[in-house]
Amino acid sequence: MKNIYNINNIPNQYISKFQGAKTMYVGNAVGSEKIYVNIDYIEPGYKSTKYHHHSMQEEFFLIMSGKGIIRINDEEFEVKSGDVISKPAGKNIAHQFINNSKEVLQILDVGTKEEDDVAIYPDKNILYVRNKGLAFKVDDDVMSKGWTTDPNE
């Protein structure tokens, strides 16, 4: 594996395109093992991801170019080139970038790779266990109704 690439020559196998966005998995391309390093390109009128937070993964974002909005903990803030955002692990800080401008929003997205991380999508009450490929809809809070792990209750 080659550990040095120019950003303009990342092999196609490390680029993912989906509606209104593209992600370059730069860290994977150069062999990063404990952190991921991605560059996200969000087209005007599109979102970076579904609104979510992580159980174990710490994330850091740098707005490389463009401007838009970050929805974070149900508040919206304008972001522009040069802005940095930190999301410490396990703090239930949900986020989503929204490109409401007329130019591409380019984001450096860096975080820890956590094998057992669970992504929580609060808008839809979904828990996603990535390493197992499982997603669960949480329709009911059984804990508030007295459920416990006690085998004798």
Task: Give the model confidence (pLDDT) of 97-137 as tens digits.
Answer: 999 999 999 999 999 999 999 999 999 989 999 899 889 88
Given phi > 0 = left and psi -120 to 50 = alpha, else beta, which region is 66?
A: left
**What's residue 151's pLDDT?**
73
- 6 by Cβ neighbours in 10 Å (0-12 / 13-18 / 19+) ranks as exposed
- 100 by Cβ neighbours in 10 Å (0-12 / 13-18 / 19+) ranks as middle
**What are the residue ranges in the chain where pLDDT is below 50?**
none
SS3 2: coil
pTM reported for the whole predicted model: 0.87
**Residue ranges of the domains in the chain?**
7-114
Q: Which CATH number does the domain 7-114 belong to among 2.60.120.10, 3.40.5.90, 3.40.50.720, 3.30.565.10? A: 2.60.120.10
72, β-bridge pairs: 75, 95
